Structure 1
Amino acid sequence: MSRYRNFGLFIALAAIWGSAFVAISAGLEYLPPVLFAALRYDVAGVLMLAYAVVATDHWRPHGRDEWLTVAVGAVLLIAAYHAFLFVGQQHTTAAVAAIVVSLSPVLTTGFARLLVPSDALSVVGLVGVFLGLVGVAIISQPDPTNLLSTDFVATFLVFCAAASFALGGILTRRIDSGMPIETMEAWSMLGGALVMHGVSLALGEPIDPSAWLHPEALGALVYLSIVASALGFLLYFDLLERLGAVEINMVSYVAPIFTAVVGWLYLGEGIDVPTLVGFGFIVAGFALVKRRAIREEFALRGVGRSRPGD
């Protein structure tokens, strides 16, 4: 029964996070991108902090390392990731954005090896990272004579979002402050929202609250803040404890399927052959980079299932 529950929650999380890209595209019709992302985390941060207060006694950061972890999370995991993503997604489809973001686990391993030179990637691992980057290149289809084309720049910005998230994840783990993940996420969300409000003001984005009240804009904001962020992260925390980091990373490769379906149904967005081929390269890259962890994980699962009484 536990396996079915985990599978159901895994699919629910993939559906929520996959459809979030569609909600972003819908909301961008009415709100400027960085301000939209900031408003999302104004709400999500307050909800997550309330949860942290209830779920843990350690709901506020203490000491230099914990505040440094929050600062890295706010700048890279929340502000940089979402600012790049929302700006880039103005000129690309939700499915393309979801697929490019799925490169994050591959980039995470690459950054980890760069920051720890003694722990270099094997030849197979390097091939995996290369395949992931080839996948992004296939999706973006860069024109050497026009590298400033709108489509290429948009895809590159989404790639920057994936890279920011990967680097932020590595740095927060390296600091290893011991702070509960709920607390780190809550304060990072609030700090990231504050950073994005500052960036939005610096960019001169228009502030027009009347546009936020359009039913589609309001619906997108509510969905992203409450469902995709607050509920989504609660599911993530639960599954991370039950499944471990390797299996939960698989969400990145199931979510784009939901993005493509919901994007087609709600926005009428299609998905072309190069995007599918690029996605295949990214998945293959992930499989090569994480091959040992995947093999060990499924070997352990196999042993667990073979025990009598399960």
Structure 2
Amino acid sequence: MVRRLLHMRGAPNRESLLPHKYSDWLMLGLLVALWGSAFAFAKIAIETVAPEWTMAGRLITGAVLLLPLTLRAGEALPRNGQDWSWLAGLALVGNIAPFFVISWGQQYVPSALAGILIGFTPLATLVIAHVLLTEERITPMRAAGFVIGFAGLVVVLGPRALTDLTAGGERLLGQFAVLLGACLFACNNVMARRAPEMPLLVKASGVMLAGAFAGSALASAITPPATLADASAASLLGVAGLGIFSTGLAALVFFRLVDRAGATFVSLTNYLVPVFAAVAGFLVFGEELKLRVLMGLALILAGIAVSEWRASLKE
């Protein structure tokens, strides 16, 4: 799958997005795995690496991974300011800003509630795409499917997390920060769909490069780079895993899939990633896998089936 992605060129398919092909579903599953593994990598990385340098490090690693592949494929990075403005915007809206505000918000928000708030991404994408993308209009079945999927996410993370919603002080600011991160992810989904047409490797590596420069500058302003000398080998490997799998390779899959299947379809990953993270935590760290995760997964899959029902009717 990754090898096929590396050799895909040319303009994206801007025609009708439905029905989705089997390859789209395979790429969606791969993207869920790549993004879902970030929780395990980050858990190891932040033990001795500051969160801001974890963010910058994953973008630097992603750039180091993708730039040589781009040059080896005979591609050239953009030379005009308009393309670089888009790439920088995608890096800011899709990586730097959401990672920063969500990390800040999680200082005051329990992880389960943060997961639910981030789960607003598909719903926000649905609304934004309806306004800005003529090919991705809201339909009753799609809206119902996304609501069912969100209900499944609440079951996965525990309905009790909703009781943590509060209207006071820093906790409220933290909740708004995580919700802002979800909205930024939604905006990034739509921005990626509307971005200028360019080869896949150029787009992915350009975003990583722009993000690496901006992310490093932000991290340096917060924490001196010299603190990385105290990082453990395990944490550095965690950062490398984040950069290679959850950032670099994920960017390739994300941009290819959003061009093929649309922003709304890609946003479904935000329902599935917490499930993958829970299963990965069970397999890797021996964390408890609760029955509600499996029940929530069933509800999420039902929601996806409902939202995509129109596709099956058109086949």
Q: TM-score, normalised by structure 2?
A: 0.69
**2:46 equivalent in structure 1:** 28
Q: Find 1:163's aligned residue among 175, 180, 183.
A: 183
After alignment, is 256-265 or 277-286 more displaced? 277-286
Deviation, 1:189, is 1.4
Q: Which amino acid aligns with 1:121?
A: I
**2:101 equivalent in structure 1:** 84
Q: Write the distance in 2 (CA, Å) between the matches of 1:117 and 1:142.
A: 38
**1:193 equivalent in structure 2:** 212
Q: Find 1:48's aligned residue among 44, 52, 66.
A: 66
**2:12 equivalent in structure 1:** none
Give 1:50-69 correspondences, 5 Å limit: 50-57=68-75, 59-69=76-86
Q: Write the distance in 2 (CA, Å) between the matches of 1:216 and 1:288.
A: 42
Give 1:215-294 correspondences, 5 Å limit: 215-234=233-252, 244=261, 252-270=270-288, 286-293=304-311
**Do the aligned partners of 2:46 and 2:54 also contact (CA within 8 Å) in 1?**
yes
Q: How large is the RMSD of aligned CA atoms in angstroms? A: 4.3
Q: Write the distance in 2 (CA, Å) between the matches of 1:11 and 1:118.
A: 23
Q: Secondary structure at the match of 1:141?
A: helix
Encode CA deviations 1:228-272: one digit per residue, 9 max, x unaligned. Answer: 33344455677779x855876665555433311222344454466
Alignment partner of 1:72 is 2:89: yes
Q: 1:163 to 1:128 in 2, by over 3 A?
A: farther
Q: Write the distance in 2 (CA, Å) between the matches of 1:18 and 1:50.
A: 26
Q: Write the distance in 2 (CA, Å) between the matches of 1:182 and 1:293.
A: 29
**Do the aligned partners of 1:14 and 1:255 also contact (CA within 8 Å) in 2?**
yes
Q: Which amino acid aligns with 1:205?
A: T
Q: Write the distance in 1 (CA, Å) between the matches of 2:26 and 2:134.
A: 39
Q: 1:52 to 1:75 in 2, by over 3 A?
A: same
Q: Which consecutive unaligned segments of at least 5 residues does structure 1 have?
A: 300-310
Deviation, 1:76, is 0.6
Deviation, 1:105, is 3.9
**1:141 equivalent in structure 2:** 162
Q: Write the distance in 1 (CA, Å) between the matches of 2:32 and 2:141.
A: 28
**Do the aligned partners of 1:31 and 1:217 also contact (CA within 8 Å) in 2?**
yes
**Do the aligned partners of 1:37 and 1:86 also contact (CA within 8 Å) in 2?**
no
**2:55 equivalent in structure 1:** 37
**1:172 equivalent in structure 2:** 192
Q: 1:54 to 1:257 in 2, by over 3 A?
A: same
Q: Which amino acid aligns with 2:95?
A: I
Q: Which amino acid aligns with 1:230?
A: G
Encode CA deviations 1:152-192: one digit per residue, 9 max, x unaligned. Answer: 76665444333212202212322x41112321221111212
Q: Write the distance in 2 (CA, Å) between the matches of 1:139 and 1:284.
A: 22
**Do the aligned partners of 1:107 and 1:166 also contact (CA within 8 Å) in 2?**
yes
Deviation, 1:221, is 0.9
Q: TM-score, normalised by structure 1?
A: 0.70
Q: 1:287 to 1:199 in 2, by over 3 A?
A: farther
Q: Write the distance in 1 (CA, Å) between the matches of 2:110 and 2:46.
A: 12
**Do the aligned partners of 2:118 and 2:182 also contact (CA within 8 Å) in 1?**
yes
